[in-house]
């Protein structure tokens, strides 16, 4: 039985795809009498089957060697297109995480979107979302991974624009789609180049090719930057980070998956192509710079946000920046551990924030307060999720950052400064949000806010327990360091950054009426961070203006050069025809003379162009 489940684990993504297809009759309105609920139940059933299948395989996969499966999709003559899959502890573990969080997010959505008229369409999109993520987890082919990333881009566009009747939602979906397309286009260039250089797009073959590859520095640099671009777009890294903030206009259950799993998909691709990135020191340095700038900058921006979802989404970009930094320093194992701990904690935080939004009908944290006594389960979920995000002993993120810091304390000590800074600022931001939302006196929108129903509470409680038990799971997988090998200076530095961040966040004066500070200096800093360093305006002045200018030039050339030339030819033909009609006399000898003269002139010019006239004796 175990062998059968292992050999058929490649079918896990198709469970979710089947669930999405089964919801279509309700999603497109063929079935209406039953309401949209059966569509949600079909999708939940297939997700439960996928999770159970993955979990049983994961229990026994530790004793097996990684196995590669090659599925031939198309073959003609010498051309062969195949998809390679990898069944290993990492890939199967990723599918378990994906299906588990997807299952909890779908149960959560049953309560959050119970009155939405297009519930079936939402679950169909979630099914496609989950299928693409599960396929990406077990993919051993760069071509297949690229195709699945494109499916994720499309799914993001559809889910962000789910409430398409709102103009702001349409704009957010469009911006998210086109921002990701920039990275996807560059990634496609890298995929095409690799297919020529390496002759194969399977990760195992690419790893072997990279060991003996002999590329020029310029070629390896361009190739590495192209491969990085796709992941930068998916992980919302600078300068392609603006889409994640706008994507918060979509439904919150989709934001749960987007901020915990989808952003991790791009980083997971980076993990698979580590040998290729090692060919270019410039690409590795680009990862380090991009990750550092995003980690520090996005954390600063999150502190100035008053929208609860945006305050959390910017911290997602920051932690993905830490993952990019780890990849640039070739610490792939640490990056995977960060992805695991961040995914669980961030999913819990977004479920908690979604419960607050659901009961208060507001996302502005300055309009909230005093919810801790009215929503105990939601408050507990937020506190545990926040603790799982920062380096608080003994939760998961603490061990991930401690392992990373200890490995680099003597090689790159500046990384410790980045970790301490990002961790402290994250603790400050989460404490600030907690005080404004759950602490203090109730306001008008929170005075009568009840706790959410069981459909939303059950996933939060489950993730709360999972976050608390994650250190035991890491210990069982032999991923925790022994106490005798711990660098206590690094440990105390990380704990101190958390304590300082919580202390400042707890004591800083937060007046709910001050959406903007009355002090000009602080107001300038607040606006600078609140508007994300005005990067959108910089893009509007530079990139958008340049594209608009090129579009105007192209339109002018098309109208006056291309169309003008075509219109000139047409006008000449009309003028010639109108002119020749006056030469019609009805006398055949006149027509013959005209033909003879024209043929003679043409013969003269042809002979002159071929040089035949030079051979005449005169």
What is the pLDDT, as a whole number, of residue 540? Answer: 82
478 or 414: whose pLDDT is higher?
414
Q: Note whether 398 and 342 are within 8 A (CB).
A: no
173 or 576: whose pLDDT is higher?
173
pLDDT at 611 over 80: no
Q: Is residue 316 part of a domain?
A: yes
DSSP label at residue 67: E
Verify that 434 and 285 share a domain, yes or no.
yes
Verify that 561 and 605 share a domain, yes or no.
no
Q: What is the number of structural domains in the chain?
A: 3
Verify that 292 and 224 share a domain, yes or no.
yes
CA–CA dist 138, 251 (Å, integer): 28
Average pLDDT over residues 178-203: 85
What is the pLDDT, as a whole number, of residue 78? Answer: 67
Q: Is residue 55 part of a domain?
A: no
What is the pLDDT, as a whole number, of residue 615? Answer: 61
What is the pLDDT, as a whole number, of residue 585? Answer: 64
Average pLDDT over residues 258-270: 86
Verify that 476 and 552 share a domain, yes or no.
no
Verify that 413 and 552 share a domain, yes or no.
no
Average pLDDT over residues 165-186: 83
> Where residue 514 falls among pLDDT bands split at 50, 70, 90?
low
What is the pLDDT, as a whole number, of residue 516? Answer: 62
What confidence tens digit (pLDDT) does each residue in 309-323 have? 888 888 888 888 888
Average pLDDT over residues 397-426: 79
| 508 exposure class (CB count in 10 Å sphere: 0-12, 13-18, 19+) | exposed
Verify that 463 and 559 share a domain, yes or no.
no
Verify that 484 and 462 share a domain, yes or no.
yes
Lowest mean pLDDT among 234-238, 239-243, 470-474, 516-520: 516-520
Verify that 479 and 541 share a domain, yes or no.
no
What is the pLDDT, as a whole number, of residue 574? Answer: 79
What is the pLDDT, as a whole number, of residue 67? Answer: 80
Verify that 400 and 521 share a domain, yes or no.
yes
What is the pLDDT, as a whole number, of residue 580? Answer: 66
Verify that 571 and 458 share a domain, yes or no.
no
Helix H segments across 65-118?
Answer: 89-112
Q: Note whether 438 and 372 are within 8 A (CB).
A: yes
404 is written with which tokens?
């990373």
Verify that 404 and 463 share a domain, yes or no.
yes
> Where residue 517 falls among pLDDT bands split at 50, 70, 90?
low
Q: Is residue 246 part of a domain?
A: no
Per the prediction, the chain carries an average pLDDT of: 83
Q: Note whether 206 and 273 are within 8 A (CB).
A: yes
pLDDT at 5 over 80: no
For the entire predicted model, the pTM comes to 0.85
Lowest mean pLDDT among 219-228, 511-520, 540-549: 511-520
Could you give the C-alpha distances from 564 to 7, 116, 377, 558, 579, in angstroms and in order?
65, 53, 70, 8, 22
What percentage of residues in the chain have a pLDDT greater than 90? Answer: 4
- Domain extent, residue 551, equals 535-584
């Amino acid at each position: 039985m175990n062998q059968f489940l292992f050999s058929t684990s490649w079918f896990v993504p198709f469970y979710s795809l089947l669930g999405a297809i089964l919801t279509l009759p309700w999603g497109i309105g063929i079935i209406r009498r039953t309401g949209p609920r059966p569509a949600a139940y079909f999708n939940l059933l297939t997700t439960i089957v996928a999770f159970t299948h993955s979990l049983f395989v994961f229990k026994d996969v530790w004793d097996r060697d990684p196995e590669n499966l090659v599925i031939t999709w198309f073959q003609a003559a010498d051309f062969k297109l195949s998809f390679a899959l990898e069944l290993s502890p990492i890939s199967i573990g990723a599918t378990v995480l994906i299906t588990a969080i997807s299952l909890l997010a779908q149960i959560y959505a049953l309560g959050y979107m119970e009155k939405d008229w297009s519930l079936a369409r939402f679950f169909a999109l979630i099914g496609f979302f989950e299928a693409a993520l599960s396929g990406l987890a077990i993919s051993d082919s760069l071509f297949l991974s690229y195709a699945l990333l494109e499916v994720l881009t499309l799914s993001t566009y559809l889910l962000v624009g789910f409430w398409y009747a709102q103009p702001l939602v349409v704009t957010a979906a469009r911006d998210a789609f086109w921002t990701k397309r920039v990275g996807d286009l560059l990634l496609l260039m890298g995929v095409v180049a690799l297919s020529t250089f390496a002759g194969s797009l399977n990760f195992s073959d690419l790893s072997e090719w990279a060991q003996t590859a002999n590329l020029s520095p310029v070629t390896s640099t361009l190739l590495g930057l192209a491969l990085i671009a796709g992941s930068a777009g998916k992980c919302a890294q600078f300068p392609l980070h603006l889409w994640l903030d706008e994507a918060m206009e979509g439904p919150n259950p989709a934001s749960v998956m987007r901020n915990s799993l989808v952003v991790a998909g791009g980083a997971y691709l980076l993990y698979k192509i580590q040998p290729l990135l090692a060919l270019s020191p410039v690409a590795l340095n680009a990862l380090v710079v991009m990750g550092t700038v995003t980690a520090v900058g996005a954390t600063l921006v999150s502190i100035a946000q008053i929208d609860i979802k945006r305050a959390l989404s910017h911290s997602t970009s920051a932690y993905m920046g830490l993952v990019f930094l780890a990849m640039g320093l070739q610490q792939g194992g640490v990056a995977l551990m960060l992805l695991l701990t961040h995914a669980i904690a961030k999913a819990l935080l977004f479920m908690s924030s979604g419960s607050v939004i659901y009961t208060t009908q507001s996302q502005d944290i300055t309009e909230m307060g005093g919810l801790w006594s009215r929503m105990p389960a939601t408050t507990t979920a937020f506190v545990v999720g926040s603790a799982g995000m920062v380096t608080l002993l003994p939760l998961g993120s603490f061990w991930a950052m401690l392992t990373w810091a200890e490995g680099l304390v003597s090689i790159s000590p500046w990384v410790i400064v980045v970790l301490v800074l990002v961790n402290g600022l994250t603790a400050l931001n989460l404490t600030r949000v907690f005080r404004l939302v759950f602490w203090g006196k109730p306001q008008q929108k929170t005075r009568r806010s009840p706790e959410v129903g069981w459909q939303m509470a059950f996933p939060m409680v489950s993730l709360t327990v999972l976050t608390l038990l994650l250190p035991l799971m890491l210990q069982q997988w032999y991923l925790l360091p022994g106490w005798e090998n711990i660098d206590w200076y690094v440990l105390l530095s990380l704990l101190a950054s958390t304590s300082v961040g919580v202390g400042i966040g707890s004591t800083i004066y937060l007046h709910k009426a001050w959406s903007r500070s009355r002090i000009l200096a602080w107001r300038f800093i607040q606006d600078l961070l609140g508007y994300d360093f005005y990067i959108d305006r910089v893009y509007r002045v530079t990139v958008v203006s340049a594209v608009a200018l090129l579009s105007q030039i192209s339109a002018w050339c098309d109208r006056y050069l291309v169309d003008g030339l075509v219109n000139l030819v047409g006008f000449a033909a009309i003028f010639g025809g109108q002119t020749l009609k006056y030469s019609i006399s009805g006398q055949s000898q006149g027509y013959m003379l005209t033909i003879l003269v024209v043929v003679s002139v043409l013969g003269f010019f042809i002979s002159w162009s071929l040089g035949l006239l030079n051979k005449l004796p005169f």
